[in-house]
Amino acid sequence: MKPVRRVCFISAWGSPGARKARHGPSLMPGGSFEAYNNIRDILQRVAAHVDDGPCITYIGEGGSGNFVKMVHNGIEYGDMQLISQAYDVLKHVGGVSNAELAEIFDEWNKGELESFLVQITADIFKVKDEYGEGELVDKILDKTGMKGTRKWTIQQAAELLVAALTIAASLDCRYLSGLKEERQEAAKVLKEAGLKDEVQNVGVHVDKKRLIDDVRQALIKNAYQRNPNLASLVVDPEFAREMVQRQAAWRRVVGLAISAGISTPGMCASLSYFDTYRRARLPANLVQAQRDLFGAHAYERIDRPGSFHTEWTKLARQTGAGVGAFNSAAAFCYLFV
Hey, which residues are catalytic here? 69, 76
165-177 vs 265-277: helix axis angle to the nearest 10? 160
Q: How far is CA 4 from the centre of its chain?
A: 49
Say if residues 165 and 270 touch (Cβ distance below 8 Å): yes
Confirm if 83 and 89 have CB atoms less than 8 A apart.
no
CA distance linking residue 25 with residue 18, whole number of Å: 10
Residue 97 makes CB contacts below 8 A (sequence gap 6+) with none
3-state SS string for the chain: CCCCCCCCCEEEEECCCHHHHHHCCCEEEEECHHHHHHHHHHHHHHCCEECCEECECCCECCCHHHHHHHHHHHHHHHHHHHHHHHHHHHHHCCCCCHHHHHHHHHHHCCCCCCCHHHHHHHHHCCCECCCCCCEHHHHCCCCCCCCCHHHHHHHHHHHCCCCCHHHHHHHHHHHHHCCHHHHHHHHHHHHHCCCCCCCCCHHHHCCHHHHHHHHHHHCCCCCCCCCCCCCCHHHCHHHHHHHHHHHHHHHHHHHHHHHHCCCCHHHHHHHHHHHHHCCCCCCHHHHHHHHHHHHCCCECCCCCCCCECCCHHHHHHHCCCCHHHHHHHHHHHHHCC
Query: Residue 307: phi, psi to the nearest 5?
Result: -115, 135
